[in-house]
Amino acid sequence: MAKNKLVMPVVKWVGGKRQIINLITKYVPKKFSTYYEPFVGGGAVLFELQPKKAVVNDINAELINIYEVIRDRVEELIGDLKQHRNEADYFYDIREKDRDKNEYSGWTPVQKALRIIYLNKTCYNGLFRVNKAGEFNAPFGYYVNPNIVNEITLRAVSIYFNKAKISFYCKDFEEVLKGARKGSFVYLDPPYDPVSATSSFTGYDKGGFGKDEQIRLKKTCDKLNKQGIKFLLSNSATDFIQDLYLNKEYKIEVIQAKRVINSQADKRGEIDEVLVMNYEP
């Protein structure tokens, strides 16, 4: 299946890989059967590789719903997105819709996808951030002309989703990887280990992702390795992560990535990240 250059992320996501996609893809194996991505987020790596067969997962149900709606009802999504307005009062009215759980649970998948895409395109810095109750809480961005309806990209992604054999899940990462077999390739992009006590961003989902989860992920990588399944993992280059993956069977590459999400512009810049793999690229 030929790659389509119009296939690219439809939402901006914390930890998105568009800035360093070339650094990541050069370490991806040339051949594999099924592609697994348990923390898909904005999907930059998925959309760059465009595998013919993939298992795509994220713990964020709103995000997986967006992908399923793009696959199944993209024209309805595009038509309804055009009705949204880039106005602060309107934004906050839409943002508050998930506060009434009974009402929001009755919304259709298309309505929920519309809301999240609209909020993502018009909120400050393109954040998807929720509070402890799981409610969207990023503020209005006050952008002059945000690209709320990117018809070309939405249609291209929909075509790819329908041509390829892709299964979407909203499960725990360990659960979704139980189906992986030798010959598969797994790309892991979990919420990063914070580089300082104040830099942690776990608001993409109300559950968070702490040290215990990082350790559980490492044990999952060890299981994949024992099964002969190739994996590539991205994370911050903290001492904790580098010590965690110190294994003669694992190769660690330190790369430079640009931090684009920070409330203070002068703190956005290049930081060290690691790529961990259990094979020679």
User: Number of H helices and number of E strands within the chain?
Assistant: 10, 7
Spans of all domains in the chain: 18-60+164-277, 66-151
Could you identify the residue written with the tokens 């009434």? 100
CA separation for the pair 32, 279 (Å, rounded): 13
Residue, of 12 and 222, whose pLDDT is higher = 222
Average confidence (pLDDT) over 225-242: 97
pLDDT digits (tens, 9 = 90+) for 36-93: 999 999 999 999 999 999 999 999 999 999 999 999 999 999 999 999 999 999 999 9
Residues with Cβ within 8 Å of residue 152, at least 6 apart in sequence = 6
Helix (H) or strand (E) holding 124: none
CA separation for the pair 140, 123 (Å, rounded): 4
CA separation for the pair 6, 234 (Å, rounded): 25
Name the region of 186 (left: φ>0; alpha: ψ -120 to 50; beta: rest).
beta
Strand partners of residue 57:
169
Of residues 106, 102, 94, the one with CA closest to residue 136: 94
pLDDT digits (tens, 9 = 90+) for 113-146: 999 999 999 999 888 888 888 889 999 999 999 9
Residue type, 54: A
Helix (H) or strand (E) holding 266: none
pLDDT digits (tens, 9 = 90+) for 244-277: 999 999 999 999 887 554 444 444 557 899 999 9
Q: What is the pLDDT of residue 265?
A: 47
CA separation for the pair 113, 72 (Å, rounded): 12
Average confidence (pLDDT) over 201-212: 66
What's this model's pTM, rounded to 2 decimal places? 0.92
Q: Report CA dihedral (182, 184, 189, 190) to the nearest 10 degrees.
A: -50
Average confidence (pLDDT) over 185-203: 77
Exposure string over 171-185, b if 16+ CB within 10 A, otherwise e:
eebeebbeebeeebb
The answer to whether the beta carbons of residues 134 and 63 sit under 8 Å apart is: no
Of residues 160, 122, 123, 136, the one with CA closest to residue 8: 160
CA separation for the pair 45, 64 (Å, rounded): 16
What crossing angle do the helices spanning 109-122 and 88-95 adopt, rounded to 10°? 140
* Percentage of residues of the chain with pLDDT beyond 90: 80
Average confidence (pLDDT) over 11-23: 89
Q: What is the pLDDT of residue 260?
A: 56
CATH class of residue range 66-151: mainly alpha
| Superfamily of domain covering 18-60+164-277 | Vaccinia Virus protein VP39 (3.40.50.150)
Q: What is the pLDDT of residue 202?
A: 45
